[in-house]
Structures are given as structure tokens and as C-alpha cells.
Amino acid sequence: ANEDPQNLVKGLIVGKRWRIIDKLGEGGCGSVYKVEDIQTFAKAALKAESNFVKGGSVLKLEVQILKRLEGRKYVTQLFQSAKKKTYSYMVMTLLGRSLNELFKQYPICTVSTQVRVGINILYGLKQLHEVGYIHRDVKPANLAIGRRGQAIHIIHILDFGLSREYVIRNNGSVKLRMPRTNTLFRGTVRYCSANTHTRSEQGRPDDLWSMIYVLVEMRGPLPWNHIRGKDEIGMAKFQTLDTTLCRNSPKELLDIITHLRTLDYYTRPNYFYIYERLHNVMRECNYNDEIFQK
């Protein structure tokens, strides 16, 4: 019974080091537990996935990505990973509340919170893109603040289960993978880019479009909030004017969207320009660095 990844019992010690405290949730491909280090009592998150998953291991991909992201502060960090007889697991940073939970508490955020969250997500995405991956599912549920101390002021990107490597590494050289046509839909309908609805290959700009939708929603409902149906929402994204999308946001968001419109799969986004536009809002309004102030 101890070997069922969906029902690891409280008190069970995994990998001779991590004691199961609580089950935090279940995803499409496994369960997440709150664990503690039996020596230091430090808390962490353990994700367990059955070894008999249809369609191959998602955990393996996540572990691979987290190893590349080692030491970067805007993404989850990996502490340990291993494969047991019936399941595989990885232990990583235990984060605080997700933006999904925070937005329930603060349905309309201030512009200062909006731009600071934007800068954080931008940093995280740039770090991920720099190691050769795109996320493909940027949304409030996959963004979380730290649990305590300074990390509370940092938004971390998590859950790389839908990520894809967009580069090919070959004997030290790195080149972009050729984009496929008519790809499977990957992501979350509400936050994915308009391009994703056309089944085109997602690239770096698509992650940034999702970031924009998350930021816009911090200031009020997205224009497709009441629309049901994937294709209808896709149409709404193509038809909504950029000015309408940004009606409750600072003009700098419009500048960022204008930049995103110049990009395609092959072009590297100008992360510094995007940062600069967001930072400009902070500068003009004299904002400080506290996220989610009352």
C-alpha cells in the first residue's frame, strides 16, 4: 500500500530523508505532498508519479528541466529525485500561495502589484527560455510566492509538465528546433496565446502572451471571461483590440504587446525592453517593491 503514489501515508519516509506530512493535491499525472527533512525539519514538496503512466513520464521531463534551472531564484529548485519500483518522485521547493489563490483574495490588484508581478514572471520566463525550454502553461495556478522570508516577495514559476525544449543541442552547438504545423493543443484555454488556438508551434513569445493575459486579468476580467468554448475564446483573442485589452492597465503594457506582435517563432523576445517598460511604470509612479500590499 505504501507504494501507491496517490496514497503515500502520513509519516512514511521516502528516500531515507523525507517524511510525508500532508497531501497537497493531485495533478493529471501524480500527487504532490508536503514533506519534511527528517534531520533539519526543513519543509519541501514531493511530487510522486506512477511508473505505469500512459504516454510516458512527465516527472522525468520536469526533473530534467529543474536540473538545468539549478540556482535560479524565480523557479522551483530540485532537491532530490529517484525512481522506485512502482513510482518515481522528485522533491523540490515548497512554495507559498499561488497567484490563483491570491487573486481570489485580491480580485483587483493595484497597478504597482501588477507591474511587480510582471517583472517577476518575466525574470522566470527568461531563465527558462535561456536553458532552452518554453513553459506552454503560464497561468496564475502555476505561479506562486515563496513561503517565508525574502522569498515571499518573489513569484516563482512551477509545473513544467507541459514544457517543451525549443532548441536542439548537438556537440556543443545549439540551434532552434523546426516548428511543427498542426500541433496538439497544449496549455490552458483562458491564458494561452491566440497563436496557440491555430495549432501553431508555440515559442518564446507565446509564454509572454500568457504573461500579458495574467497581468491584464489582475486589473479586471479578461474580455473572453464569459465565453465558453475553445474556438470561441480563440476568436475573441483575435478580435479584441490591444487597446481594449489594456484599458485598465498602464500604457506600457500596450508597448509590450506592440513588441510581441513583431515576433515570430524564431525571434528572441527583447526581455530587456519588456523589463524596461514595466520598470518605467514603477519609476513614474514612485512605487516600492512590496508585492500585494493592501
**Which phi and psi angles does 219 have, rounded to 5°?**
-110, 5
255 is catalytic: no
Report residue 205 as a C-alpha cell. Answer: 513569445
Q: Is 76 in contact with 145 (CB distance < 8 Å)?
A: no
Report d(CA 250, CA 241) in Å as an integer: 15
Cα gap 77→94, rounded to integer Å: 9
Alpha-helical segments (H) within 108-151? 111-130
Residues in the chain: 294
Nearest to 138 by CA among 160, 110, 111, 116: 160
| CA angle, 99 then 230 then 161, to 5° | 50
Amino acid at 287: Y
Catalytic residue among 137, 159, 206, 207: 137
Catalytic residue list: 137
